[in-house]
Amino acid sequence: MSVQQRDAAIVGIHEFPSRDVEGELSPLHIKAQSASKALADAGLTWSDVDGIYDAGEGGASGLTIAEYFGLSPTVIDTTNVGGSSYQFHAAHARRAIAAGKARVALLTYGSTAHSNVARIGTGGRGMGGYPADNLESFAGLTLIANYAMCARRHMFEFGTTSEQLAEISVATRFHAMRNPDAVRAMEDLEFLDIRETTVDDVVNSRMIADPLHLLECCMISDGGGAVVIAAPDVARDCRHKPVWILGTGEATKYPEGGADITSSAAVQSGPIGFGEAGVGPDEMDIAMIYDSFSITVLTILEDLGFCLKGEGGHWVEGGRLRFDQPSEGPALNTDGGGLSSNHPGMRGIFLLIEAARQLRGESTAQVEGAKLAVAHGNGGMLGSRHSAGTVVLGGD
Amino acid sequence: MTEPTRPLPNFEESDTAPFWEGTMDRQLRFQRCNDCDTVIFHPRRHCVGCLGHDLIWHDASGQGTVYSYSIVRQSYHPFFRQHLPYVVAWVDLDEGPRLLSNVVGIEDPSSDVHCGMAVRVEWEPHGDYAIPLFRPL
Ligand SMILES: [Zn+2]
């Protein structure tokens, strides 16, 4: 095992609790409120921040963010690669800190997707490149159908079943029912029948885009959060034990040349991140995997090397992803994930937040003695152009 | 009230305009690099296989296979919601390019579409231009 570089650590986290702000707050409000609470969680304050990381959604530039927060950062990074932007931000923040260009990095996210009735999943096409978009927009591909095509091809090549995919939704809901914020989210968004689910519940729920059922699709909520990443000497004086960033990997993938949509850009980002961390997927206690849809998780688990390509369906069977089955491998999305806790459009930041909670021992579905976690974000659309960010985290 | 229509591309967009001009003759066009034979799709002005720019337009046969598909059962788009359920698919043309399109001319999408199915282009006219859709062979 290589020597792990402990250059930077997550020292402050905050998840904005409301999933429905009823149009009363803007994304910028949510970002600022989350930032102040994450800094307080770290025992730091605004003036300690010298690096800001924000995806700049909706046209809020780095300059806007800096002024709104009242900061004079020496590093600004507004990388936007969709939902995995925050994995990229964590990677970049660690590098800036290791290079001595920043000591305290602040990552922010805020969205009012629910209040806006921004029909992320079933509206238009979600995001798309140009001019590629000019050859695709006529077909009426919804975002859900884009992911559904991955699931269909996975079923065709490997015999994966809807029952197997449903295991991911079931485990995630099992965790959500232990998270009061997730339960309130489902209440506020008027979910019917808020309870633990079974495989039958999932496969009997309404088909949205074959073969994906309603309970395999993430919710559309408001929300946001913030993460503070600091240099080792700063981290030592913070309120909580540091959660070290041990390795990061970044990647993209698109349809060029008949790409295989049963695998994702995680094939590239995973080995880079795990390699840098000097640990393997089999050592992970926690797997925070972007769960826009059930198939997203299944694909990424395979791509990260938790099992071989095509064996994910069998691998997830029998509830092994639950937090109370630690001998079976990692616990999946212990906050309830995008499927059952929150999905304001780009939920990568929550993967970092819940992984940090687990490694601090603060999750509502806590894995006893959790030491290692992977937070893997997927941005864009799995079945066409998308980005992947892998962040391997370790407890102190 | 006019009937909602299929969202149409910008037929003049510079990279894809030659593709859409081809549809006037009901030709499905794609680019191949004259230097390294790489198929370029979506259309561009540079080769992604080499550093060249000598891309030649070719007419595809219009035959291909369904790589993957989904049956869309929920959409908020004013045009597409009238056509639920409908089939979106990635279609691999015999010459290499992969197109996103709809599979039409089927009775029951739940049983009549599958991965690997052979399809052929069919044209939906819009003025002088046309949208390429696919029908089982
Ligand atoms: Zn070339």
Q: Nearest 5°: CA angle at A96, between A91 and A101?
A: 170
For A33-63, the pLDDT digits (tens) are 999 999 999 999 999 999 999 999 877 899 9
Tell me the average pLDDT of chain A: 94
User: If pLDDT is split at 50, 70 and 90, which confidence band does B45 have?
Assistant: confident
pLDDT tens-digit readout, B54-71:
999 999 999 999 999 999
- CA–CA distances in Å: residue B39 to residues A85, A261, A294, A328, A333: 31, 19, 33, 45, 40
Between strands A243-253 and A386-394, the pairing is antiparallel
What values do phi and psi take at A56, rounded to 5? 60, 30
Residue list, CB under 5 A from ion ligand 1? B 33, 35-36, 38, 47, 49-50, 52
Q: Report yes or no: B111 at the A interface, CB cutoff 8 Å.
A: no
Q: Is a pLDDT exceeding 50 seen at residue A127?
A: no
- Mean pLDDT, residues A212-239: 97
Q: How far is A217 from chain B (nearest CA, A)?
A: 12
pLDDT in tens, A274-325: 999 999 999 999 999 999 999 999 999 999 999 999 999 999 999 999 999 8
**CB-based contact B89 A150, cutoff 8 Å:** no
**Per-residue model confidence (pLDDT) at position A217:** 97
B129 and B96 in contact (C-beta within 8 Å)?
no
How far does A207 lie from chain B, in Å, by closest CA? Answer: 7
Does the pLDDT at position A244 exceed 90?
yes
Q: If pLDDT is split at 50, 70 and 90, which confidence band does B1 have?
A: low
What average pLDDT score do residues A376-393 get? 96
- Mind telling me how many Å the CA of A140 is from chain B's nearest CA? 6
Q: Which positions in chain A touch B29 (Cβ < 8 Å)?
A: none
Answer whether B9 sits within 8 Å of A119, measured CB to CB. no
Interface test with B, best of A152, A206, A212, A381 (most B CBs within 10 A): A152
> Cβ contacts of residue A279 below 8 Å, gap of 6+?
A1, A246, A247, A372, A392, A394
Decide if A211 contacts A150 (C-beta within 8 A).
no
Give residue A129's pLDDT. Answer: 43
Residue B79 in contact with partner chain A when CB distance is under 8 A: yes
**CB-CB under 8 Å, B9 with A138:** yes
Residue B88 and residue A143 in contact, taking contact as beta carbons nearer than 8 Å: no
pLDDT at B3: 83
Chain A residues touching B16 at Cβ < 8 A: 131, 134-135
For residue A345, the model assigns a pLDDT of 93
Q: Summarize pLDDT for A100-125 with one digit per residue, the tens.
A: 999 999 999 999 999 887 545 554 33
Is B8's Cβ below 8 Å from some Cβ in A?
yes
- A184: exposed, middle or buried (C-beta count within 10 Å: 0-12, 13-18, 19+)? middle
**Nearest C-alpha of chain B: how many angstroms from A383?**
10
pLDDT at A251: 98
Left if phi > 0, otherwise alpha if psi is -120 to 50, otherwise beta: which for A176? alpha
pLDDT of A175 over the 80 cut: yes
CB atoms A138 and B8 under 8 Å: yes
Domains in chain A: ranges and CATH:
9-117+219-395 (3.40.47.10)
3-state secondary structure of A332: strand
From the candidates A117, A135, A217, A295, which should be mutated to test the interface with B, based on the most B CB atoms within 10 A?
Answer: A135
pLDDT at residue A3 greater than cutoff 70: no
